[in-house]
Amino acid sequence: MSRVTDNHAGIHVNEIYKEEKSLEPIIADLRLIANKKISELVEANKELLVFPQALNINHDGIRKSSIFSLSVEDKVSTHNIMGFVGCNKTQLTIASRFETGRKDYFLHYMLQKVFSINIFDFDLNSGNDNIWDFLLYLFPFYLKKALNQGLYKEYQQREYNDANVRGTIDVNRHIRLNIPFCGKVAYKTREHSYDNNVTQLIRHTIEHIRNHAWGRDVLTTDSETIDGVNLINSSTPDYNKKDKHKVISQNLRPINHPYYTEYQVLQKICLKILRQDGCAYGQEKDKIYGLLFDGAWLWEEYLNIVLKGKNLEHPRNKDKSNKQYLFANNTGVIYPDFFKPTDPIMVADAKYKHIEKTNFSGEDDYGRSDLYQVIAYMFRFKATKGYVMFPIKEEQIGDKLFFYEKYTLHEKSYRGEIVKLGMKIPQNMGSFKAFTDAIKISEEKFSDNI
């Protein structure tokens, strides 16, 4: 699997696929993915999962953005999207730019935080990420979301042979089983059941996860997950591990139920986990497969956890909570990433981009729109301070504990300051535990400056 990193501009295809003899079919496959709106790709390819879109969140125009760009000179430019994507035989990993030695500790760490997973004995022993690892983080989250709608039940065809006839008599089976007559009647009936194709799929996935090196930690991450796993186990008495392939084939048709909507993504995730090698890349011609994360959304949700206790409000597009208005008469809806409505009033914008390259005082246009957005929010809330918060590699700031640049607004405007605040992301850590210990220090120093 060939590999690039996020927010990387102009890397030629032949640098990415060095070992391939012929680049023409690879470039043709990449062009089916490149420069296309994510919303169009997801709609046309049911095996492509993009977060947060799979959460029904339209975050900062992600639907209009692309996974990566491909120029006429066959140069690939990546953006904020990370994960795995493939088409036909062409496969591509987009790792975070903070990975070292093919160990993407920062992406794993953010995913564990955002999806509320705590894996204490975790490491990337193989040195290579794969889609299986990321799917493990998603399973408990979606299991809980689905079970919040109730345990899935549907009509099932059942066969019985007893004296309590309550369905259609199966004459052929009755003759085979009950001649000479022994007081029983063979019949079949349709009845609502919790033990069905969908719950069986979830049960097979649970048993599959148990066999992973740190799968047991995933299934016991909190009491709600434990209760959910126990509920599925008790509701699937007909579980048989030999039925795995049969259950998979029975679930290839997506759930289409007006009430159990949360089971749709859970079903996809279960299928991907159980099929493993076939979960990301299929054989259907020109179809796109993958599991992708929007780094901007992930960074923002991660910061919301880091900044707990700072009395910051975090408006959310998904449920329209804490929405604000730019104009009178409650028009011009805006969703600042973070703001503090009490004195001293402040606003903060989370950016996953290379903000350290931006000189707000110079003539450089890079990041200028980010600056104007913060100023507009400051003006709207009469804030005296605005923050642009971003991650930065440890090697870029040396011994400093964080990146800090302050810009004072012109004296002819109202008093205010804009601060570029970068969280130091540890590099070259020997283990995930060492990375976790180091980034907790970074989080503390970063938070102290808000």
Could you read off the pLDDT of 75-119 as tens digits, one per residue? 999 999 999 899 998 999 999 999 988 788 999 999 999 998 877
Which of 46-55, 68-77, 119-128 is least confident?
119-128
Question: Are the beta carbons of 336 and 327 closer than 8 angstroms?
Answer: no
pLDDT for 160 equals 78
Q: What is the pLDDT of residue 285?
A: 84
Residue that wins the pLDDT comparison between 185 and 318: 185
CB 270 within 8 A of CB 49: no
pLDDT tens, 167-181?
Answer: 788 888 888 888 888
Close Cβ partners of 169 (under 8 Å, ≥ 6 residues apart): 185, 186, 187
In a domain, 250, yes or no: yes
Highest mean pLDDT among 1-5, 57-61, 236-240, 274-278: 236-240
Do residues 87 and 183 share a domain? Answer: no
Please tell me whether residues 127 and 144 are part of one structural domain.
yes
- Alpha-carbon separation of residue 123 from 67, 214, 226 (angstroms): 28, 9, 23
Among 163, 193, 223, residue at a domain's last position: 193
Strand partners, 3: 93
* Any domain includes 345: yes
- Choose between 219 and 282: higher pLDDT: 219
Residues 214 and 285 in one domain: yes
237 sits in the region (left: phi over 0; alpha: psi -120 to 50; else beta) called alpha
- Three-state SS across the chain? CEEEECCCCCEEHHHHCCCCCCCHHHHHHHHHHCCCCHHHHHHHCCCEEEECHHHCCCCCCHHHCCCEEECCCCEEEECCEEEEEEECCEEEEEECCCCECCECHHHHHHHHHHCCCCCCCCCCCCCCCCHHHHHHHHHHHHHHHHHCCCCCCEEEEEEEEECCCCCEECHHHHHHHHCCCCCCEEEEEEEEECCCHHHHHHHHHHHHHHCCCCHHHHHCCCHHHHHHHHHHHHHCCCCCHHHHHHHHHHCCCCCCCCCCCCHHHHHHHHHHHHHCHHHHCCCCCCCEEEEEEEHHHHHHHHHHHHCCCCCCECCECCCCECCEEEEHHHEEEECCCEEECCCCCEEEEECCCCHHHCCCCCCCCCCHHHHHHHHHHHHHHCCCEEEEEEEEEHHHHCCCCEEEEEEECCCCCCCCEEEEEEEEECCCCCCHHHHHHHHHHHHHHHHHCC
pLDDT at 356 over 70: yes
Task: Give yes or no: residues 350 and 412 share one domain.
Answer: yes
Is residue 412 over pLDDT 90?
no
Residue ranges making up the domain that contains 205: 2-150+196-297
More confident residue, 132 or 73: 73
Pairwise pLDDT comparison (311 vs 357), residue with the higher score: 311
> Residue 187 forms beta bridges with which residues?
160, 169
What is the pLDDT at residue 281? 42
Q: Is residue 260 located within the same domain as residue 361?
A: no
pLDDT of 170: 82
Write the pLDDT tens digit of every residue in 321-341: 567 888 888 888 888 899 898
Residues 343 and 424 in one domain: yes
When pLDDT is cut at 50, 70 and 90, the band that residue 244 belongs to is very high
The pLDDT of 189-206, averaged and rounded, is 90
Residue 52 banded pLDDT, cuts 50, 70, 90 = confident
Whole-number Å distance between alpha carbons of 26 and 40: 21
9 and 90 assigned to the same domain: yes
**Co-location of 74 and 209 in the same domain:** yes
Q: Are residues 330 and 275 in the same domain?
A: no
Rounded to whole angstroms, how far apart are CA atoms 385 and 393? 25
Domain identity same for 249 and 338: no
Question: Is the domain of 90 the same as that of 56?
Answer: yes
pLDDT at 5 over 50: yes
* Domains: count for the chain: 3
- pLDDT band for 279, please (50, 70, 90 cuts): very low
- Asked if residue 206 lies in contact with residue 239, where contact means CB atoms within 8 angstroms, the answer is no
Asked whether the predicted pLDDT for residue 239 surpasses 70, the reply is yes
Pull the structure tokens for residue 208. Answer: 């599959």
Q: Is 38 in contact with 47 (CB distance < 8 Å)?
A: no
Q: Bigger pLDDT: 359 or 282?
A: 359
* Helix (H), strand (E), coil (C) string for 133-188: HHHHHHHHHHHHHHHCCCCCCEEEEEEEEECCCCCEECHHHHHHHHCCCCCCEEEE
Which of 142, 171, 193 finishes a domain?
193
Which is it for strands 11-12 and 154-162: parallel, antiparallel or unpaired?
unpaired
What is the residue-averaged pLDDT of the chain? 86
Question: What pLDDT, on the 0 to 100 scale, is given for residue 366?
Answer: 61
Average pLDDT in the 335-357 region?
A: 89
Q: Count Cβ neighbours within 10 Å for each residue of 154-180 and write b for 16 or more, e otherwise.
A: eeeeeebbeeeeebeebeeebeeeeee
Q: According to the model, what pLDDT value does residue 46 have? A: 83
Chain segment 219-232, per-residue pLDDT in tens: 998 999 999 999 99
Q: Is the peptide bond before 52 cis (omega within 30 degrees of 0)?
A: yes
Does residue 302 belong to any structural domain of this protein? no
Q: Which of 5-9, 122-126, 215-219, 288-292 has the lowest mean pLDDT?
A: 122-126
| Model confidence band, residue 295 (pLDDT cutoffs 50, 70, 90) | very high
Reported pTM: 0.86
Residues 259 and 185 in one domain: no
Show which of 274, 297, 320 is a domain's final residue: 297
Can you say how many angstroms the Cα of residue 116 is from the centroid of all Cα atoms in its chain? 12
pLDDT at 55: 56
Residue 348 domain flag: yes
Tokens matching residue 110 = 């953010």
Nearest to residue 295, comparing CAs of 391, 225, 200, 409? 391
Least confident of 152-166, 186-200, 256-270: 152-166
Would you call 259 exposed, middle or buried from its count of C-beta atoms within 10 A (0-12, 13-18, 19+)? exposed
> Would 292 be classed as within a structural domain?
yes
Q: Report pLDDT for 441.
A: 96
